Structure 1
Amino acid sequence: MPRTPPAAPPPEPAPRRRMARHERARQLLDVAWALLRAEGADALSLGRLAEEAGVTKPVVYDHFGTREGLLAALYQDFDVRQTAVMDAAIAAARPTLKDKAGAIAAAYVRCVLTQGREIPQVLAALQGSPEMAAVKRQYQEAFIARCLDILSPFAGAGGLARAGMWAVLGAADALSDAAVGGDIGAEAAQAELFETIVAIVRRSR
């Protein structure tokens, strides 16, 4: 009687590919946003993030260092996406003051609303943090420089004052926060920000 040949061993699973550093950072930020959205900023610790992401604590500490570093990274991640949306909107807008102002207003409010209540939680958790102060200042300066570049062609001979661009930024933050909180609608926030931008530019003529 012929002998039955032994069964072939099951194939070994393919080795897991080691993530590149930027890929791991993206994964950790995505998990952090989901955790923040589901449970709030109080639940967002480096240890909890490691557990949710399925990695060891040293991996998370290597990327962010501290909880404040993680929160600052989340804010920077939001800012990068907001800048990309605004740049696309500005590029698509016609070269008129009203169209450029409308693109700035719509993009700013839309980005804040897209992130819902997560960004206010990040800001509240980082209140007084040196990391947040540096990140926020960098963002503010970049926004003002971008607005000056976009709107200066429509200003008078004296150009636009930086004080006016700070006023635009303050209005953008306040109106977006009011829209997130449900105090005003998104369209009302965009319309008021649009009027503020146009008025400040026209005042320079």
Structure 2
Amino acid sequence: MTSGNGTLGTMSEDTEFRKTGIDFAMMEPRDQLKTLLREHMHDKPFSELAPVTFDHRGAALIGHIMLDTLEEQGYSIEDFDAVGALTAAAVPMVCSLMHAAASRGEDLDGFVMDFVYPAIKGPSIAGKRVILIDSWLSEKSYVQTSSLVTLRNGNELSLDFGIVDAQGATVVAVAALIGGVDMEEPTLRITDPVTGEAHETPFVEIFHESELH
């Protein structure tokens, strides 16, 4: 089956066309990404979103949409120097962000957290401002992952912050492709497991769970 622009359409595009009558290629980029996420998430309470983040269309969309959303929330590309994957699920997102930034003539490094030897894998982040990202971070009780604990009491995320701090970097914000924090201006409460001190860090949701179900 061919799409409206005469090219061979994928099964995903054909399915969406039959459902809505709208050619996938004619949608706005954000709507294209939302379509891919909705199709994958159908009847799924949680996913690491690999079928979307490793899809050539998703990979091309995610970086630009995340950069645009971050800027809308007050974080332009000039406000951070690197993006770090909190989990392996976010690694393809880091790559998408780096390529999107490069296409705009901007330099952006990437890294991934390493919990075996508490450190990072990637270029040095000493003295840099970083944004930590993941595919899906939620505080909903049905999400049975470490992210649940992370967003509910901050203990696990505090380990990530501790590693970044030990590397001499500063966390500007945390961002997720899908977020489930029910606040008008979402923030994450990070608790130091040693001192018990807590502080809040901005949380940027590219899509809220409610948009996709």
Q: If the length of structure 1 is used for normalisation, what is the TM-score?
A: 0.32
Structure with the largest fraction of strand: 2
**Higher Cα radius of gyration:** 1
Higher relative contact order structure (alpha carbons within 8 Å, sequence separation ≥ 6): 1
